[in-house]
Amino acid sequence: MAWFRKDKTGLAQQEKKNIPEGLWTKCKSCGEVVYGKKMEELLWVCPNCDYHFRITSQRYIELLLDDGKLELFDLNLTSKDPLKFKDSKKYPDRVKAAQLKTGKKEGVTSGIGHVNGIKVSFAIMNFEFIGGSMGSVVGEKIARAIERSIEMELPLIIISCSGGARMQEGILSLMQMAKTSALLAVLAEKKIPYISILTNPTTAGVMASYASLGDVIIAEPKALLGFAGPRVIQQTIGQDLPEGFQSTEFFLEKGFVDKIVNRKDLRSTVTSLLRYMWIN
Amino acid sequence: MGTGPYLEFEKPIAELEKKISDMKDFSIGSDVELSGEIASMQKKLDKLRTEIYDNLTRWEKVQLSRHPKRPYTLDYINAMSTDFIELHGDRYFGDDNAMIGGFGMIDKQKVMFIGQQKGRDTKEKLFRNFGMAHPEGYRKALRLFYMAQKFNVPIVVLIDTPGAFPGIAAEERGQAEAIARNIREMSRIKVPIVVIIIGEGASGGALGVGVGDVVMMLEYAWYSVISPEGCAAILWRNAIHAPEAADALKVTSPDLINLKIVDKVIKEPPSGAQNNLQEAAEYVKEAILGALDELKETPVDILLLDRLQKYRHIGEYDE
């Protein structure tokens, strides 16, 4: 029995190392089953229906920035509990759990990097951190990313992924919409470009502030976008929602997204845009 | 006063009012002298009222903000200003009856009024869409903000909304974009902006017209990132937990002062604005004129810098 057990352990370890998501992956949208290793090559985009799986913020940094390098800023910002908020869990416990889960202190990673040699101020939201929700720290990190753009004259790129404002910080979360949007007004006056990239999902307080205020708004295919969540709308109007409602494609058709861009083309699209908007 | 309808926590007041009124009726048709009795009960009633209203829970205040007789935006505008000229339409899509606006005069002060409007009876409620604006409402407001800037007229915003409307048409026409744009543009409008939450201040629907130099709220108004019911439905998985959510979210005027989001609380008449519109409107008027006195003297570049700084520093975190 000994040889058998040993072999099995070795195999399991090997599997874990190479294909963290399991050997086969089933597409959440069309049900297509794809070999995990293949999915990694495809940047976690379904080869059958173009559904974009959620990937980590680190993966986006590797995809978009030169050498996958981001000089990190504001790393030590952490949430407080200004409302002493408690539902089934205390808010500080939720934050701690999110920190353990993600290995990050908060829901935004931000700093300075390059896209094909063009220096940019960059920020990305992490959905795994309490649904990418925007509290004081998320708002502050986005605000500082905008300020770096203004002060250092760098184009701004924000990749959004969020269910909206963070309820556990109450009205302070709502006010982050005003804080970030007011700074974007200053950025716009300086004629510095801002490219907003929307990923699945971007809704509510984030969509109703900085995510909607890009000079150019790019979105990944089949992402859920919008102001109100589909369930809230359904309950309000008391009827089923049309197929594809609030998808990226829906908002392109309605005129609120400039371009649907496949993940593999993200870097080249951003580069082309910046060459028009920023480089002489 | 006997103004009914009564909210749940007003029941003891209603009972005592009824007793007094019965006694008065009785005394008219009889020789028994009851005036002393009635006076003492009246005193008891006043005491009861004070007791109840001084100890309202957050959830009871939320209910009061939705009292069927609570004054709405146009009630205040008509009570405190003369020659109000309502202006309609966003010039793109249509006219949103949930959002009203226009020029008005408060004493000798010209202002541009903007605000959500609720309806009193069923027909009017539907006409006003319960005070829940569509994108065209926010775009109408923005058009009027720009016009106020063009003619150098200060802006007064009266907020009273259960939220921006969550519906299919609202999404199709870009509810999120409309609100985002308003928030950004309001931060740079070159005339003073005074914002008052007069009833319900729900989330992005409120903030979409809510960026200003001075933000005030009525004593029994509420202002929050999400309605207590909405929060309870998500975090407690049932809207019946709204009272707990209201406490957790800290939505009332003293809370908002503590959190430094609101600059001033405007006192309401005893037992709430619904009991005396004229008195309530007088307090609102004083607050607006007081705020404008100072803001009008501020040079535009300082005004905009102060407004930016006001929002720039909101948030609590460790570093």
Cα B85 from Cα B153, distance rounded (Å): 14
pLDDT tens for each residue of B1-22: 445 688 999 999 999 999 998 8
pLDDT tens for each residue of A136-185: 999 999 999 999 999 999 999 999 999 999 999 999 999 999 999 999 99
> Chain B interface, mutation test: which of A83, A227, A252, most B Cβ atoms within 10 Å?
A227
- 8 Å CB contact of A207 and B234: no
In a domain, A76, yes or no: yes
pLDDT at A85: 97
- Please give, rounded to a whole number of angstroms, the shortest distance from the CA of B216 to a CA of chain A: 14
Average pLDDT over residues B198-222: 98
- Portion of chain A with pLDDT greater than 70, in percent: 92
- 8 Å CB contact of A172 and B314: yes
Please list, residue by residue across B229-264, b when 16 or more beta carbons sit within 10 angstroms of its beta carbon and e when fewer do: bbbbbbbbeeeebbbbbbbbbbbbbebbeebebbbe
**The pLDDT of residue A59 is above 70:** yes
pLDDT at B34: 80
Q: Report which of residues A32 and B129 the model is more confident about.
A: B129
> Which chain B residues are closer than 8 Å to A212 by Cβ?
174, 176-177, 180-181
Cα A209 from Cα B304, distance rounded (Å): 19
In a domain, A211, yes or no: yes
Interface of B with A in 232-291 (CB under 8 A): 234-236, 244-245, 248-251, 256, 259, 261
- 8 Å CB contact of A246 and B171: yes
Q: How many domains does chain A have?
A: 1
**Residue A57 contacts residue A126 (beta carbons within 8 Å):** yes
C-alpha distance from residue A59 to each of A45, A55, A177, B260 (Å): 13, 6, 27, 39
Q: Tell me the CA end-to-end span of chain A in Å, nearest whole number.
A: 70
pLDDT at A21: 52
**The pLDDT of residue B192 is above 50:** yes
For residue A75, the chain B residue with the least C-alpha distance is: B319
Task: Tell me if chain B has a CB within 8 Å of the CB of A226.
Answer: yes
For residue A186, the chain B residue with the least C-alpha distance is: B188
In a domain, A117, yes or no: yes
CATH code of residue A240: 3.90.226.10
pLDDT tens for each residue of B135-179: 999 999 999 999 999 999 999 999 999 999 999 999 999 999 999
Average pLDDT over chain B reads: 95
pLDDT tens for each residue of A2-57: 445 444 444 444 434 444 556 888 888 888 998 888 888 999 999 999 999 999 99
Residues β-bridged to residue B136? none
In a domain, A31, yes or no: no
Least confident of A4-18, A180-194, B277-291: A4-18
**Residue A265 contacts residue A64 (beta carbons within 8 Å):** no
pLDDT at A19: 42
Ordered alpha helix ranges (H), chain B = 11-28, 35-54, 58-65, 73-80, 122-127, 135-150, 168-172, 175-186, 203-207, 228-231, 242-249, 253-258, 277-297, 300-312
Q: Which two tokens stand for residue B293?
A: 């006195």
**The pLDDT of residue B58 is above 50:** yes
In a domain, A39, yes or no: no
pLDDT at B23: 87
What angle is formed at CA B263 by the lines to CA B76 and CA B160, rounded to 5 degrees?
35
**The pLDDT of residue B216 is above 90:** yes
Average pLDDT over residues B275-300: 97
- 8 Å CB contact of B314 and A254: no
pLDDT tens for each residue of A230-244: 988 998 888 889 999
> Which chain B residues are closer than 8 Å to A176 by Cβ?
314-315
Q: Which two tokens stand for residue B301?
A: 């570049």
- Portion of chain B with pLDDT greater than 70, in percent: 99
In a domain, A34, yes or no: no
ipTM exceeding cut-off 0.90 for this assembly: yes
Q: Which of B140, B127, B69 is nearest to B99 (CA)?
A: B140
Average pLDDT over residues A93-110: 97
Q: Which residue has the tokens 């503590």?
A: B258
pLDDT band at A1 (very low <50, low <70, confident <90, very high): very low
In a domain, A195, yes or no: yes
Average pLDDT over residues B297-309: 98
Task: Tell me if chain B has a CB within 8 Å of the CB of A205.
Answer: yes
pLDDT tens for each residue of B62-99: 999 999 999 999 999 999 998 999 999 999 999 999 99
Residue range of the domain that includes A150: 56-277
Is 0.95 surpassed by the pTM of this model?
Answer: no
pLDDT at A12: 41
**The pLDDT of residue A250 is above 60:** yes
